[in-house]
Chains A and B, each alone.
Chain A
Amino acid sequence: TQLLEQSPQFLSIQEGENLTVYCNSSSVFSSLQWYRQEPGEGPVLLVTVVTGGEVKKLKRLTFQFGDARKDSSLHITAAQPGDTGLYLCAGAGLGGSNYKLTFGKGTLLTVNP
């Protein structure tokens, strides 16, 4: 069974601060995706990382996939209240099992003005 451990589970910071969310597993994934979910909504895809060591930037968000494709991190620079939400990492299995995403429990981020 593939498991993804996300940390921290809760994070409350002030506007302008930086933060990093971690997603770790003992399993190798073919790809890893990061989603943001707001109350009453479904998860919205932020980024997909596929290659070990890959780094992707989306404005103030930086995503990194570990060299061994077992872990990932999300770094937000100068957080804003609009960044508030539940951040989920999700890994796709290898080969024929990549249809299924295994999600972490999420990190609930609150950015206070």
Chain B
Amino acid sequence: DAGVTQSPTHLIKTRGQQVTLRCSPISGHKSVSWYQQVLGQGPQFIFQYYEKEERGRGNFPDRFSARQFPNYSSELNVNALLLGDSALYLCASSLAPRGSGANVLTFGAGSRLTVL
């Protein structure tokens, strides 16, 4: 079975541009989360979506938005790009947003965004 797939793997944008990143979860997983990982840091939570609804949002500006489609795939959009948005954007899928014990995430390989 395919794992979490993300596209594109690498992209370069200039300041002020907009970017859309895509994620396909593991088959059967209904929850998708997005994380931003700046070089030298751990991933930071951006969004979680479950059944096409936003279930959680991290401390990111409104320039960041996301959505989930009926097939549970997801897109992350970032408008008015800043140099500081350069990072690895990770998508993770899970069976459900809340588990009785732990929310086990499976991460994709990420989309490396460089803003010049």
Q: A interface vs B, CB < 8 Å? A: 4, 6, 30-31, 33, 35, 40-45, 48, 50, 88, 90, 92, 96-106
B102/A42 in contact, CB under 8 A: no
If over half of B's interface residues share one DSSP class (helix, strand or loop), that class is named, otherwise mixed; here it is: loop
A48/B102 in contact, CB under 8 A: yes
Partner of A92, one of B41, B102, B109, B110: B102
A44–chain B nearest beta-carbon distance, Å: 7
B101/A103 in contact, CB under 8 A: no
Which residues of chain A have C-beta atoms less than 8 A from B41's C-beta? 105-106
In Å, the complex CA distance between A22 and B101 comes to 22
A43/B107 in contact, CB under 8 A: yes
In Å, the complex CA distance between A6 and B41 comes to 11
Which residues of chain B have C-beta atoms less than 8 A from A103's C-beta? 35, 42-44
- With A101-B103, A105-B42 known as contacts, the answer to whether A42 contacts B56 (CB < 8 A) is no
Q: Apart from A45-B104, A101-B105, what 6 extra A-B contacts exist at CB < 8 Å?
A: A6-B42, A40-B109, A50-B102, A92-B102, A100-B56, A105-B40
> Is B66 part of the binding interface, using a Cβ–Cβ cutoff of 8 Å?
no
**Complex: chain B residue closest to A6, CB-CB:** B42
Which residues of chain B have C-beta atoms less than 8 A from A99's C-beta? 31, 33, 48, 50, 55-56, 97-98, 103
B109/A30 in contact, CB under 8 A: no
A48/B101 in contact, CB under 8 A: yes
In Å, the complex CA distance between A104 and B40 comes to 11
In Å, the complex CA distance between A101 and B98 comes to 12
